[in-house]
Structure 1
Amino acid sequence: MRSGPILLALCGALTAGCSGLQDGPCRTRNFENLPYLVCTFDAGEDDIRLFLRDESGAPFGQFDRVANHVAAQGGSLIFAMNAGMYHDDRRPVGLYVEEGETEMGLVRSAGPGNFGMLPNGVFWIDGPRAGVTESLAYAEAFEEGPPRFATQSGPMLVIRGELHPGLNPDGTSLRRRNGVGVSADGRQVHFVISDVPVNFHSFARMFRDGLSTPNALYLDGAISKVYVPALERNETGLDMGPIVGVVVSP
């Protein structure tokens, strides 16, 4: 994992600076006077994975179940967050790929709700790189085969450095929200969750202006939860669908 000095250098490079820095991958951050938790990992060094079902085929649903699963394999779960929208039975709404196996196919059409607010996109991890890619561009980029992990959600928050055109700066829908943005070189992956209700436009600005990510993806709102045992955060509630986590192995 990255050391304190490297994180300090990262914070110095951000356009609005950092506050509440911890000596680890997660830090508290105020942006435009709103508090966020930002957890940053290196796709080439850190073991970022997606989790959906246990060995019996049942959805994990909760962070503790993922942590126990990882521990049984000799590792430690140091971070987790819900990673995309799902149906009542916890099946992903859109594309879901785990260890190269596709469980749900890519949804290309517009539809109801936030997921169908085109353009939506895909967060993916493959080898030493990660990305957030608009859904149709993802289909072209991976037409020869899927990456190791991928989850589709929507809407896109930032698209090639521009905010999603459908986001309203005066939007009155305020929720706790979580999302993911990736640096231009595909190495730095920023997972962000707001610690107070925010609107879409404000949340998207956090990625574009606060973290300088050229592409960022909304993961969810009302059910947004995070797991960071080093910060004594293990948020529970209704069972989730896809979960993204970072594993440390001995």
Structure 2
Amino acid sequence: MIRLMMILAVLVCAGGAAAGEPCRKVQHLGEGYTVCIFDPAVDDIQLFQNDRSGRPYGSFRALENDLRQDRIYVRFAMNGGMYLDDQSSVGLFIENGRELKAINTNKGWGNFHLLPNGIFYLLPGRAGIMESKAFAASGIKPFYATQSGPMLVIGGQLHPSFLADSTSLKTRNGVGVMKDGKVVFAISDGPVRFHHFATLFRDDLGCANALFLDGSISSLDIPEWQRRDGLFPLGPIIAVTEMLPG
């Protein structure tokens, strides 16, 4: 009995979730994160900004209620890129193959313009993350795309502006693509440095490319965990959905 309890304790600490569940709790450099992994070959990963009336969703609850009318269930959602006061995206945003906002490669103030920034995009069955100027020159025509910044990991290297001893500590969330093509989303449990957040993607999650989505307003929706963050109005939303039976 004691041996069995010890084995169970090790499994709980190592995984943070039951086998097969997409989300788990992890520790990295002494800081806690929620990490969720989905396979674009089988999981329906989409980007959302406006509801069927053309108004910004603004919240996970509004998105869930709207999609439920079509018997679509939200398995997971996260804020999906930086946005302006009207809740529209700062940079490129493509939804259902339609470009709602053009790519933004301008210099400026703030994290978005801490170049290089990048684009998370989805094609049928696969996903990618690419530096913005490289994406613009690539000719890729994704079905979904969102631009944010800065890049966290670029070709296996950390963004050159990140400092291991930075005093800038914020709750942060981001997205990466793993070696096997799966998409991994992460959000910190509390304030963390850019450097530490980036090394989570590079060193622990094996992402050659990863993109920062936002800080401070970072939000997560995992219905199975009964977690639905709602402290801040949202702009673009990344969601994993599935059709309800019946």
Residue 66 of structure 1 corresponds to which residue in structure 2? 63
User: Does residue 133 of the first structure (1) align with residue 127 of the second (2)?
Assistant: no
What 5-or-longer segments of structure 1 have no aligned partner? 1-16
Supply the distance in 1 between the matched residues of 2:18 and 2:100 (Cα, whole angstroms): 37
Could you list the per-position Cα deviations for residues 49-87 of structure 1 after superposition, in whole angstroms to 9, with x for gaps in the alignment? Answer: 001001111000000111112211111101000000001
Residue 233 of structure 1 corresponds to which residue in structure 2? 227
Supply the distance in 2 between the matched residues of 1:207 and 1:142 (Cα, whole angstroms): 27
Residue 248 of structure 1 corresponds to which residue in structure 2? 242
Supply the distance in 1 between the matched residues of 2:40 and 2:124 (Cα, whole angstroms): 8
**Greater Rg by CA:** 2
Structure 2 residue aligned with 1:171, among 148, 166, 170? Answer: 166
Structure 1 residue aligned with 2:205, among 211, 222, 236? Answer: 211
Could you list the per-position Cα deviations for residues 126-160 of structure 1 after superposition, in whole angstroms to 9, with x for gaps in the alignment? Answer: 101101100011112235xx300000000000000
TM-score for both structures, normalised by structure 2:
0.91
> Would you say the 8 A contact 1:61–1:239 is kept in 2?
yes
SS at match of 1:214: strand
Could you list the per-position Cα deviations for residues 97-120 of structure 1 after superposition, in whole angstroms to 9, with x for gaps in the alignment? Answer: 000000110011221100001000
Deviation of the 1:198 alpha carbon: 0.2
Supply the distance in 1 between the matched residues of 2:103 and 2:239 (Cα, whole angstroms): 22
Supply the distance in 2 between the matched residues of 1:179 and 1:18 (Cα, whole angstroms): 22
Deviation of the 1:230 alpha carbon: 0.5
Supply the distance in 1 between the matched residues of 2:77 and 2:205 (Cα, whole angstroms): 20
Supply the distance in 1 between the matched residues of 2:206 and 2:48 (Cα, whole angstroms): 28
**Consecutive aligned runs of 4 or more in structure 1 exceeding 3 Å deviation:** none
Residue 152 of structure 2 corresponds to which residue in structure 1? 157
Amino acid at match of 1:213: C
SS at match of 2:113: coil
CA RMSD of aligned residues (A): 1.4
Amino acid at match of 1:21: A
Residue 4 of structure 1 corresponds to which residue in structure 2? none
User: Does residue 80 of the first structure (1) align with residue 74 of the second (2)?
Assistant: no
Deviation of the 1:184 alpha carbon: 3.2
User: Does residue 114 of the first structure (1) align with residue 111 of the second (2)?
Assistant: yes
User: Does residue 223 of the first structure (1) align with residue 220 of the second (2)?
Assistant: no
Aligned ranges for residues 36-47 of structure 1 at < 5 Å? 36-47=33-44
Structure 2 residue aligned with 1:180, among 175, 181, 185? Answer: 175
Amino acid at match of 1:22: A
Supply the distance in 1 between the matched residues of 2:174 and 2:14 (Cα, whole angstroms): 18
> Would you say the 8 A contact 1:120–1:155 is kept in 2?
yes
Percent same amino acid among aligned pairs? 46
TM-score for both structures, normalised by structure 1:
0.90
Supply the distance in 2 between the matched residues of 1:18 and 1:163 (Cα, whole angstroms): 26
Supply the distance in 2 between the matched residues of 1:125 and 1:18 (Cα, whole angstroms): 30
Equivalenced residues, count: 232
Supply the distance in 1 between the matched residues of 2:68 and 2:187 (Cα, whole angstroms): 25
What 5-or-longer segments of structure 2 have no aligned partner? 1-12
Residue 196 of structure 1 corresponds to which residue in structure 2? 190
Structure 2 residue aligned with 1:148, among 134, 143, 161? Answer: 143
> Would you say the 8 A contact 1:175–1:196 is kept in 2?
yes
Supply the distance in 2 between the matched residues of 1:229 and 1:124 (Cα, whole angstroms): 24
Residue 13 of structure 1 corresponds to which residue in structure 2? none
SS at match of 1:157: strand
Structure 2 residue aligned with 1:22, among 3, 14, 18? Answer: 18
Could you list the per-position Cα deviations for residues 173-220 of structure 1 after superposition, in whole angstroms to 9, with x for gaps in the alignment? Answer: 1111000000235x2000000001101000000000010100000000
